[in-house]
Structures are given as C-alpha cells and as structure tokens.
Amino acid sequence: MIETHELSKSFQSYKKAPGFSGAVKSLFHRQMIEKKAVKNFNLSINKGEIVGLLGPNGAGKTTLMKMFTGIIVPSSGKVKVLGHHPYDRSKEFRKKIALVMGQKSQLWWDIPAMDSFYLLQKYYEVEDGAFHDRIDELSTLLDVKDLLHIQVRRLSLGERMKLELMASLVHQPEVIFLDEPTIGLDVMAQENIRQFILNYHKRHGTTMVITSHYMADVEALCQRLVVVFSGEKFFDGNISDFSKIMGHQKVLSFQFKEALNPTDPFFEKLDVRWSLGNKKLDIRIPEAEMPALASVLLNKYPVEDFASEKMPIERVMQLLMEKHSNQGGKRI
C-alpha cells in the first residue's frame, strides 16, 4: 500500500550572520547549507494498518508525510502509495488519499463547514446519497450536528478539528495521513478525537499514518510504531517491542514523608529522577532487581507510597533522545 525505497529529501537554505553587517555581507556572499531531512528511508505499510511516526522536532516525520502525499518532491529514492508515485499528483491518486493537518486548516475560514463539505463533495465526485449518509454518520459520531452551519472562524479549536476530520473523510479515502491531529487540544478533546479515529478504523479498515508529539495518541491508536531520528529510521515494530528496547526495565516510583538527600551514596549508582522538592523519586531498574531494591528502600527510608510500572513509551522515547543527542546525532 505504501512503499519507500532509499527515500531521501534535502532542503537548501542560506546561512546569514546576525545583525546589520551580516545582512550587508549576505548581499554579496551567502553560504548555502544543505539539510538532509530524510535519509535513505525504507518503509512498507500494509492495507488497514495504523502506523505511528514518532520522533523529536525536526526528525523528518512531516517531510515523510509531505512526500507520501505528493506535496513535495523527493530528492532521491522511490516512494509509491496505492501504486502511484505521489509527486505525479495524478487526480486518481488524490481521490484516494486524505491529509489532516493539525496546524493547518483545509476548511474555508469565513463560511460554514457545510459549504466546504459541498465543495469537497464535488471535488471528489461523491454521489448525493452517499454524501448525505456520510455527513450524517460522521456528524453523529463526532457530535457536531449543531456546528455544521456555523462560520468556521467562530468555532473552538477542538470543534474545528472535528470538522477538519470530517472534511478529510467525505470521500472515504483509502489512506489517511494525520499530521499531529490532536495538537493544541485539551485532554477531553484529544480523547474524543482518538476514540473517533479508532471507531472509524474499526468500521472502515482504512490505512492510517499518524504523526504526533503526544505518546498517548500513539499508544491509543497505533499498532505499529516507526521511530525517526535525524531523518533515519531507528525502530520499526509494534509498541510492546518498543517499550522493551531499553531492556526489560521498570520504573519504581516512591513518595516519601519528608524530603531526602539526593546526594545520599545509596542513590549514586541508580538511574534516578527526583521531583516534588526531593519528596518523589522515580528509579529505572532492571525488572529482576526490583523486589530487592524495593525492600531496601521500604526499610531504610520513610516511604509514604510506592508503585511500579513498565517503562512508559514516553520515558523510552526521552531516554533514546538523550542518548541520541549525547552521541552527537549518530545512530544509536
């Protein structure tokens, strides 16, 4: 369904020294910088999968999305989506895909969303009956029936996002690309959007590619995870495998009755994280060593509460990013 082979994209820009003198110098001489946003990327996504693209800012996730949808042209390598070269931008290809951009609106700002939907109905050549059925189904699922005839600019961000999703589904695409669909939304709104995406996938089995900064999105939606660092694929597999990537480790969290001394030699050799004015402690530890350590801490220190959990995906990602930047951006 989506295939890439050694896919790469470079962007060129100019370096300019700061200040007025820099501006004058740049009139005569400018140093060109080439940034490789995506490097030799190989990926294969099957029909009906929900795949999460994860990575820090500037990792190349959105550049990949832009190449998948044909918005930008790759510098080298191959990309095929639904048997089409996206950069050819054939109308047949465009009828089969949808892109939802959390940071950009595809709805016309000054008119009600329903007018934009009518426009999209004609663009995607959707029959009247099917169009009204879909609008009815989607507006019920998203609970936005009352918002369809209100000027888009007067809606809240969460309401607008629901309508953006509707707009991208009017033509029942075969592949949906969701670029940070929950960005800027409150927790309730994020949960609503996630539930809707899951329900929609269950009903229609549409292939979805999602980028997000929120791990909760990825954990809730994606069966498969692709982690990108500096334009390269670092991990490709299911989420449970990803959380084991740092070894079989757990996080032990302790809450103490009083603040402890973090320089206590006991903690020196442990991977610890202090918070709440040194009253809360998180320790990353191999699963096998957990009972012994817990017992020592419970006996030695004034523990008020404690809990253990498997390494959250967020923490794994954070550790990977730290490790990645410590190695000067080299592959881990």
Partner 1 sequence: MSHFSLGLAKWSVTIKTSWSNLLTYRLNFFLQVIGPSLVFFFIKYNLWWAIYNSHQGDTIKGMTFSQMMNYHVWALITSLIFRGYNSNSLAEDIRLGKISTYMIYPFNFWEHQTCQFLAFSSLQIFVSSVTFFILFAAGIVIFPTFSGVILGLSFSLLAGFLWFVIQYVCGLMAFWLEETWMIRVMTELVVNFLSGNIFPLELYPAKLTVFLKYTPFPYLAYYPIKMFLGQNDEIILPLIILLIWIGLFSLFASRLWKKGVCNYTGAGM
Binding site for partner 1 (CB under 8 A): 11, 62, 65-66, 69-73, 89, 91, 94-95, 97-99, 101, 103-104, 106, 108, 110-111, 115-116, 118-120, 122-125, 151, 179
Residue located via tokens 């959707």: 126
The minimum distance between CB 173 and partner 1, in angstroms, equals: 10
- Closer by beta carbon to partner 1, 61 or else 324: 61
- Cα torsion 72, 196, 125, 50 to 10°: value is 50
- Our CB check for partner 1 shows the closer of 115 and 191 to be 115
CA dihedral 188, 189, 190, 194 (to 10 degrees): 100
Q: At closest approach, how far in Å is the CB of 297 from partner 1?
A: 48
Shortest distance (Å) from residue 109 CB to partner 1: 8
Whose Cβ is closer to partner 1: residue 17's or residue 332's?
Answer: 17
Other Cβ atoms less than 10 A from the Cβ of 106: the count is 14
Distance CA 69, CA 84 (A): 10
Q: What is the CA radius of gyration of the chain?
A: 24
Smallest gap from residue 92 Cβ to partner 1 (A):
8
Q: Tell me the H-state helices in the chain.
A: 19-28, 61-69, 91-96, 113-123, 128-142, 157-169, 187-204, 215-221, 239-243, 290-300, 313-326
Nearest residue to 192 (alpha-carbon basis) of 156, 223, 237: 156
Half-sphere exposure of 271 (CA within 13 A, CB side): 13
Contact status, residue 144 vs residue 159, Cβ threshold 8 Å:
yes
Residue 151 or 199: the one with the smaller Cβ distance to partner 1 is: 151
Least CB distance to partner 1 at residue 296 (A)? 51
* Closer of 109 and 266 to partner 1 (Cβ): 109
Q: Minimum distance from CB of 119 to partner 1 (Å)?
A: 5
Instruction: Name the residue nearer to partner 1 (CB basis): 125 or 146.
Output: 125
Nearer to partner 1, 65 or 316 (CB): 65
User: Rounded to the nearest whole angstrom, what is the least distance from the CB of residue 118 to partner 1 in the complex?
Assistant: 6
- 275 strand-pairing partners: 280
